[in-house]
């Protein structure tokens, strides 16, 4: 009973003939290696980290085909032309470290993609009405998507479904010069700065992210976005729609914190907390 009352406290017992006090210390049964549990939680939690990444479109690997339809396929006509892509992509990428597959991109969100499309210059036939000559020196587009989790993880890569994302043409002038009877419909040009056109990515629009660890804290990143979207450019006086199809390839670099940095930080935090608790315990005596 007395030992239980004295447990966890330091007492000085002076015996007759003993000039120096004898200090008896007893550790409480409630003491547990709490730091070990905290350390394990930290180790298990640190591999998931969200990192912003900046990428640059690779024009040599990217391609885009713009197909424009006037009226519809039955009564109108369709023409297409391949254009080049340029620009930058900003994305938020979450990284998970898997003991089997290594670094796996686990979540992706395309925050913005400022794209520049090369000029358009081709004729679109319109049955019985002549044709339209479509021209544009350049067009500006932006790509954004909601956050999505990976659906097909593999070694240093993952596949994401960016369905619901949107590609918007928001700058540039697309002129349609009519020839033949269609000239009576007036100006058919589209100023995207005044009237943007949004192309929504359907479900199943898979995007691949590939990571290549080239140094302990450096990872090369490749983003591959297949594009297949359809949208309306104008509805009157003549309906004009466009279909964008191709592949956007963007590359960049991501700095990945070393696991050792996290472990040193954890150990330092635990030591500081232990010293603080020890001082608090002494002040209470």
Ordered per-residue pLDDT tens for the chain, 285 residues:
444 444 444 444 444 454 555 444 444 444 445 544 555 454 444 444 556 788 999 999 999 999 999 887 667 889 999 999 899 998 887 766 555 556 667 788 898 899 999 989 999 988 777 888 999 999 999 999 988 888 877 777 889 998 999 999 999 999 988 888 777 777 788 999 999 999 999 988 899 988 887 776 777 889 999 999 999 998 888 889 999 999 999 998 876 555 544 455 556 656 666 666 666 666 666
Locate the domains of the chain by residue range.
Answer: 49-258
Cα 82 to Cα 63, 119, 121, 230: the distances in Å are 7, 10, 10, 16
């Amino acid at each position: 009973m007395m030992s239980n009352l004295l447990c966890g406290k330091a007492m000085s017992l002076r015996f007759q003939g003993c000039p120096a006090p004898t200090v008896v210390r007893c550790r409480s049964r409630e003491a547990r290696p709490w730091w070990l549990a905290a350390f394990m939680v930290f180790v298990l939690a640190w591999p998931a980290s969200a990192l912003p990444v900046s990428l640059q479109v690779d024009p040599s690997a990217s391609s885009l085909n713009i197909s424009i339809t006037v009226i519809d396929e039955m009564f109108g006509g369709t023409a297409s032309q391949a254009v080049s892509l340029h620009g930058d992509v900003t994305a938020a990428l979450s990284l998970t470290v898997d003991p089997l597959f290594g670094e796996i991109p686990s979540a992706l969100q395309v925050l913005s993609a400022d794209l520049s499309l090369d000029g358009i210059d081709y004729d679109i036939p319109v049955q019985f009405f002549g044709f339209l000559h479509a021209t544009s020196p350049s067009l500006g587009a932006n790509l954004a998507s909601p956050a999505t989790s990976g659906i097909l993880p593999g070694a240093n890569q993952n596949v994401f479904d960016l369905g619901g994302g949107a590609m918007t043409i928001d700058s540039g002038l697309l002129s349609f010069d009519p020839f033949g009877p269609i000239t009576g419909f007036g100006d058919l040009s589209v100023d995207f700065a005044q009237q943007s056109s949004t192309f929504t990515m359907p479900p199943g629009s898979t995007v691949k992210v590939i990571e290549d660890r080239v140094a302990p804290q450096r990872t090369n990143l490749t983003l591959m976005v297949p594009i297949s979207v359809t949208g309306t450019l104008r509805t009157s006086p003549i309906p004009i729609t466009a279909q964008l199809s191709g592949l956007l390839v963007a590359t960049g670099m991501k700095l990945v914190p070393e696991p050792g940095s996290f472990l040193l930080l954890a150990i330092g935090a635990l030591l500081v907390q232990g010293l603080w608790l020890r001082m608090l315990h002494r002040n209470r005596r």
